[in-house]
Amino acid sequence: MQFFTKKEEQTSSCDTNSGCCTPAPKGKMECPQCKQKAKAVLAKTLDSLLKDETKSSLESFDGFYYCKTPTCSTVYFRDKTILTQDDLSVVVGLKDKASPATLCYCFDYSKEKIYKDIKEKGTTTVLEDIKTKMKTQGCSCETLNPSGGCCLGDVAKAIKEISA
Ligand SMILES: [Zn+2]
């Protein structure tokens, strides 16, 4: 077992051995709004997280990309179609001013919780708690997390930012 402070552990998403998530669809596309590279998402992620009215306006949920840029209001896009927070039934925690700023949707951990831990105890076990729960309970990132993937990278990044 490696310490999570190792760089590769912090930046990697799920290790494939954990059986946590289905591998994300391959491919990246530039976000039409912020011009940053965005990752492809599974149709079932959109099917699970979009509001009914948005879902009924779309012919299919295939071929969308997820923009994680905090300052960008685009959440999902496909060609000329742009979906924002208003189209989602959950708050996209990684976007600026999100409240709650949820990072782990499977077990409900937020930036607020990490901030509180660090303020009160000087440290947080959120990353370890999530890893333990991933093993004991299993997770459903594809249908709960707007990114459609594992949250560990985002959690590690948030802990680093909040600790700094
Ligand atoms: Zn963007």
Q: What is the DSSP letter of 148?
A: S
- Fold of the domain built from segment(s) 24-89: N-terminal domain of TfIIb (2.20.25)
The CATH architecture annotation of domain 91-164 reads Orthogonal Bundle (1.10)
**Ligand 1 geometric centre to CA of 71 (Å):** 8
**Ligand 1 geometric centre to CA of 87 (Å):** 15
**Ligand 1 geometric centre to CA of 85 (Å):** 12
Q: How far is residue 58's CA from residue 76's CA, in Å, rounded to a whole number?
A: 12
pLDDT in tens, 18-41: 556 666 677 899 999 999 999 999
Residue percentage of the chain with pLDDT more than 70: 85
**Ligand 1 geometric centre to CA of 15 (Å):** 26
**Ligand 1 geometric centre to CA of 65 (Å):** 10
Token representation of residue 5: 């402070």
The segments of the chain whose pLDDT lies below 50 read: 1-13, 15-17
pLDDT, residue 127, reads 96
pLDDT, residue 27, reads 84
pLDDT, residue 9, reads 38
Residue 159, burial from CB neighbour count under 10 angstroms (0-12, 13-18, 19+)? buried
Nearest to 14 by CA among 161, 163, 142, 125: 142
Residue 3's CB: how many other CB atoms inside 10 A?
6
**Ligand 1 geometric centre to CA of 30 (Å):** 8
The ranges assigned to domains in the chain are 24-89, 91-164
Q: How far is residue 84's CA from residue 74's CA, in Å, rounded to a whole number?
A: 5
How do 74-78 and 37-40 pair as beta strands?
unpaired
Residue 35, burial from CB neighbour count under 10 angstroms (0-12, 13-18, 19+)? exposed
pLDDT, residue 26, reads 79
pLDDT, residue 14, reads 57
